[in-house]
Each structure stands twice: as structure tokens, then as C-alpha cells.
Homo-oligomer: A and B are copies of this chain.
Amino acid sequence: MYVLPHAPPPQPVQPAGDRFVESAVNNTLPALEPWPGLHRFRVSVRTPPPVQHGRQPPYVFDRETNKLYVDMIIAVTFAFRVAEGTDTTRLRVSALPVYPDMHHVNTPVRRCPTHRLPELECNNGAGSFIDHVIRAEHDDAVYQEGGTTKERRSVVVPYERPPPGTLDYLVSYRFCCMNTCVGGINRRRLMVLFTLEDSSTGEALGRQSVEVKVCKCPHRDARTDRSRALPKQRRPASSPDPQEPPSRRPCPAGRLVVEVDDMIEYDHLKAVLASFRAARRGLLRARSTSDSATPALPASVSSDTTSSERDSPAERRTLFKTEAP
């Protein structure tokens, strides 16, 4: 369940057993399922601000998978929305990082030892939130403390009325560890839980989540994920059953490579490949005029998979052994 953020349809009422009095800052299992609630709470990621000519935008948000790809410390603008006419003066939004993978849901997310060093430039002026993975760009942001390692760390901002003529309340967040950080997130999947709360009572009024991959090459990794989600192509007869879970073996969507032993083999295969491709292109052109009803990647299939499980590749992390108390 917990690796399927969007699988269950939004629930009209708060599921039993996951009420948050105060804030979601405790070690109990928070619900990850989206729940717009009475105020129809919604979250999305804003398109990155226009960038200089020829430069890539600083982050990527894949709406299909509801997954954000971004480098560390980059400000990402999130857009919150509630039903029109909602009195927002008593609302606030909490952002809590969680590990969606079942085996780690109960582990609070904390910055890694390296990135929580006070000497780091990015920690200049950081006080209580030095070990928070998520920072909010907001003067009134409140960092919920994790006094012990067991407690969860979240950041809360008041819900402000959007400027006239706009519907979204915009808040920028920064992610202050990589998904790969050893001794921290440590290659686990990461999700941000946004909870709409009543500022006075702390009661949860709505909830949404976004998966985040904090990495050095957001565009590359988004592209990789997208190509993995492509419908399976026809394989040669000897290939494994397409129903099989994605294997690590060469697959058409990944990087496919033939290893050779020396430059002679290399040059030979390069030449063979070039003429082979030329021959196939000729074949394709001939086909596409006579048989245009066979596109390689039917667009319909792609959208079919939108709400189905889309596991990231197998987990690649090893926790540090710590001394048992």
C-alpha cells in the first residue's frame, strides 16, 4: 500500500486511526493516501520559472507519476489550493518527509551526518532546522522539532490568501539532502506529505503527497524513469516474458550495449551497426508509407499506466549497523 501513493482513490472522509492532533510530528505511521478533505486540498508543483535562453529548467515535475526531480538546495515552488471561498485564516500547511517503502515508513527522515554539519555553507544561519531535509522559504515557517532521533521533522507555514485573481497559494521548499545520502535517506524513495491543518487545533483537514527524487541530474533521471515506464516493445522470441517484472537484463528502454574486447572488434561492430541501421531505416521508410497503422509506441498505452504501480528499480540501500541499545 505504501508504495502506491496514488493507487487508492481520494477518500471523502478521513480514514480512521490517523488523526493528527498537534502536528504530524511523531513517530506513528502517517497516512500517505491523498485525502482532499472538506476544503478540497490540492498540491502541485509549479513549472520552473523561465530560465535563460538555452538552459534547462532547474527541476522536473512529472505529473503522470506525481514525482519531482530536483537537485539539493534548489527552491521548488509548490502550489496549494483549497475550495474557493474557504476561510484560510485558520489554516496551515505542514510538509513532512517520509519513506514510502513499507519497511521504512516508520523511520523518521533526517538529514545525513555530512549535511547537518554546522560548518557547511548551506547551514549558515540554520538553527533548529539544521537536520531537517525540507526547508520552507517563508518568514513564518515553523520547524517542528525532533528532539530525539526518533521524532519526525516537519515544517509548517500559515496558509495565506492567494493574490487576487489567483487560486494558488505558492510556497517554495528546498530539499537539503540527496536521495542517496549515506547515513540519511540512503537511496530510499522519498515522499513529501503535505497536510492541511487547523492552525488552532492542529487537526488534519486534508492531505496530499508528492514523491521527490533529490539528485544531481534531474533531467536524466526523469527521462530514465519515463523510458522505463514505456510500454514493453516486442521482443525477439528468446526474450523473457513481457509479463515478468522489469529485470536488470538489457531491456529496450534502458541503455543497451554490446561489450567488445579491443578496438578491432569495436570498429568492426560500429561499421556493421551503421550499415544495419541504414538498411533498417530504408525498410522503415518503405513500411511507413504502406503500413502506417503500426506505430512503435501507441500513445494510449502510456496513459493507461498512469495510476498503476510504478515501482522504482529495486531498492539499493544498506543501512548502517548501529549498536543495539
Binding site for B on A (CB under 8 A): 112-114, 116-117, 119-124, 182-183, 233, 235-236, 239, 250, 252, 255-270, 272-273, 276-277, 280, 320-323
Question: What's the least CB distance linking A247 to chain B, in Å?
Answer: 13
- Whether A269 contacts B263 by the Cβ 8 Å rule is no
User: Which of these, B250, B257, B322, contacts A119 with CB under 8 Å?
Assistant: B322
- Whether B261 contacts A259 by the Cβ 8 Å rule is no
Q: What residues on B are CB-neighbors of A122 within 8 Å?
A: 321
Question: What's the least CB distance linking A221 to chain B, in Å?
Answer: 18
- Whether A120 contacts B322 by the Cβ 8 Å rule is yes
Q: How many copies of this chain are found per oligomer?
A: 2
- Whether A260 contacts B258 by the Cβ 8 Å rule is yes
State whether A258 and B235 are in contact (beta carbons under 8 Å apart), knowing that A322-B121, A323-B120, A323-B121 are contacts in the complex. no
User: Which of these, B182, B257, B258, contacts A273 with CB under 8 Å?
Assistant: B258
Q: What residues on B are CB-neighbors of A120 within 8 Å?
A: 320-323
- Whether A114 contacts B273 by the Cβ 8 Å rule is no
State whether A270 and B258 are in contact (beta carbons under 8 Å apart), knowing that A117-B113, A117-B183, A182-B114 are contacts in the complex. yes
- In this complex, what residue of B is CB-closest to A259? B257
State whether A269 and B273 are in contact (beta carbons under 8 Å apart), knowing that A113-B113, A119-B323, A321-B120 are contacts in the complex. yes
Known: A112-B113, A114-B183, A257-B258. 6 other contacts (CB 8 A): A113-B183, A255-B259, A256-B259, A256-B266, A258-B270, A269-B269
User: Which of these, B113, B258, B263, B266, contacts A114 with CB under 8 Å?
Assistant: B113
Q: What residues on B are CB-neighbors of A276 within 8 Å?
A: 265, 268-269
- Whether B260 contacts A257 by the Cβ 8 Å rule is yes
State whether A124 and B258 are in contact (beta carbons under 8 Å apart), knowing that A182-B182, A273-B269, A277-B265 are contacts in the complex. no
- In this complex, what residue of B is CB-closest to A186? B114
- Whether B261 contacts A256 by the Cβ 8 Å rule is yes
Question: What's the least CB distance linking A131 to chain B, in Å?
Answer: 12
- Whether A121 contacts B260 by the Cβ 8 Å rule is no
